[in-house]
Amino acid sequence: MGVNLSPITEATEIDLEYLRGKSVAIDAYNTIFQFLSIIRQPDGKPLQDSQGRVTSHLSGILYRTANLIEAGIEPSFVFDGKPNEMKAGTIEERIARREKAMVEYQQALEEGDLRKAFSKAQQTSRMTPDILETSKELLTLLGIPVVQAPSDGEAQGAYMCLKGDVYASASQDYDSLLFGAPLLVRNLTISGRRKVPGKSVYKDVKTEIVDSKRMLEDLGITREQLVDVCIMIGTDFNAGVPGIGPKKGLKLIQKHGDLETVMAKTDIDIPEYEDVRAIFLNGPRSDDYSVKPGKADPEGVLELMTDHGFSYDRVNTVLNKIEAARKAESNRRKQRSLDQWF
């Protein structure tokens, strides 16, 4: 789930047009889980084909990626590798929450409470080997770069952004900032009118961007100090300190400078803080990747999608839009180059 830094972070709303011509490293796991959570039937069941295979992720990847390409954005999807051992506690908590939600979902169905059922069903999403494999397959067939991270996808995306290979890192979590991403884009793949979980109301979700340098300057701290703040709040790698949220943690670091001094002058004790700090500041990254778009295989996309129960005509319409958008963007860039030359 990552650390919630919204109370101390100011984001700027942007239109997709703002990202035209720019490449973005997307946190694949985070995004696919969003699709699995949001794209469901009225009773909460995920989209499935005639064989009972979940297809919500395929729908999300195809249609949302098409929107990004039509906006002139060059996405690459970064997949998680082996999780750090210190993440085991977080993973166990997620499994427990998912199992509890499944029980509550079944109860809601039996009671005929579809609104509650849908809300609980959203919490039961899980990444299966088939979902992972077909996600990568569809992206590759669409010509979208797939990047395999050695560990955390957000760390890899942040590294790619730091190197200048992509303009920004995209994720719902703020952890990308802790991993060093200069620019974080949020709500990239879920912008638009969305239903509020558990309520019969909708809200407009806007794409937004966070400038790490500006944020740190506004807070008067460094990235290293921000990591210390988050260790006190609690991360995917440690439980944090009860009673300490973003604002209180920030004040402590602004006053004392670092976590060592905070612990020396208060009763706060976080034995594993150095290990957690090292994960964010020096965790594993890889240079074995490419963000260059591959050659799309429309026939392969059609075969994969129709095999999973999608309409040939609808998929083909989306593919035609993608092809037209890519050609238009290519022509736009050529014209811009000519204009600069003359």
Q: What is the CATH number of the domain that holds 40?
A: 3.40.50.1010
Residues 10 and 53 in one domain: yes
* Among candidate residues 172, 190, 219, the one where a domain is terminated: 219
> Residue 148's closest CA among 322, 284, 293, 335?
284
Parallel, antiparallel or unpaired: strands 202-205 and 192-195: antiparallel
The residue written with tokens 């942040």 in the block is 158
- Cβ count near 70 (within 10 Å): 17
The residue written with tokens 């082996």 in the block is 82
Query: Which range of residues forms the domain containing residue 28?
Result: 1-219
> Residue 190's closest CA among 34, 47, 297?
34
Q: How far is CA 62 from CA 52, 147, 171, in A?
A: 20, 18, 18
Q: Is residue 334 part of a domain?
A: no
* Among candidate residues 259, 283, 307, the one where a domain is terminated: 283
Q: What is the pLDDT of residue 231?
A: 97
Q: Is residue 309 part of a domain?
A: no
Residues in the chain: 342
Residues 44 and 175 in one domain: yes
Residues 25 and 72 in one domain: yes
Residues 110 and 253 in one domain: no
Give the largest CA-CA distance in the chain.
Answer: 70
- Decide: helix, strand or coil at residue 75: strand
Q: Is residue 117 part of a domain?
A: yes
The tens-digit pLDDT sequence of the chain (342 residues) is 678 999 999 999 999 999 999 999 999 999 999 999 999 999 999 999 999 999 999 999 999 999 999 999 999 999 999 988 888 777 788 888 888 988 887 888 888 888 888 888 888 888 999 999 999 999 999 999 999 999 999 999 999 999 999 999 999 999 999 999 999 999 998 766 565 555 556 678 899 999 999 999 999 999 999 999 999 999 999 989 999 999 999 999 999 999 999 999 999 999 999 999 999 999 999 999 999 999 999 999 999 999 999 999 999 999 999 999 999 888 887 766 555 655
Residues 120 and 247 in one domain: no
* Counted domains in the chain: 2
CA atoms within 13 A on the CB side of 59: 21
Element (H, E) at 223: helix 223-233
CA 188 to chain centre: 9
Q: What is the pLDDT of residue 192?
A: 66
Residues 36 and 185 in one domain: yes
Q: Is residue 298 part of a domain?
A: no
Q: Is residue 139 part of a domain?
A: yes
Element (H, E) at 215: helix 212-219
- Which CATH number covers residue 225? 1.10.150.20
Q: What is the pLDDT of residue 157?
A: 98
Residues 173 and 261 in one domain: no
Residues 157 and 273 in one domain: no
Residues 126 and 169 in one domain: yes
Residues 138 and 236 in one domain: no
Q: CA–CA separation, 87 vs 27, rounded Å?
A: 17
- Decide: helix, strand or coil at residue 180: coil
DSSP string, 52-79: --B-HHHHHHHHHHHHHHHTT-EEEEEE
Q: Is residue 337 part of a domain?
A: no
* Among candidate residues 197, 219, 241, the one where a domain is terminated: 219
Q: What is the pLDDT of residue 35?
A: 94
Burial of 169 (0-12, 13-18, 19+ CB in 10 A): buried
Q: What is the pLDDT of residue 87?
A: 80
Q: CA–CA separation, 212 vs 250, rounded Å?
A: 16
Q: Is residue 325 part of a domain?
A: no
CA 273 to chain centre: 25
Residues 72 and 122 in one domain: yes
Residues 39 and 119 in one domain: yes
Radius of gyration of the chain (CA): 21
Extract the tokens encoding 41. 């039937």
Q: Is residue 272 part of a domain?
A: yes
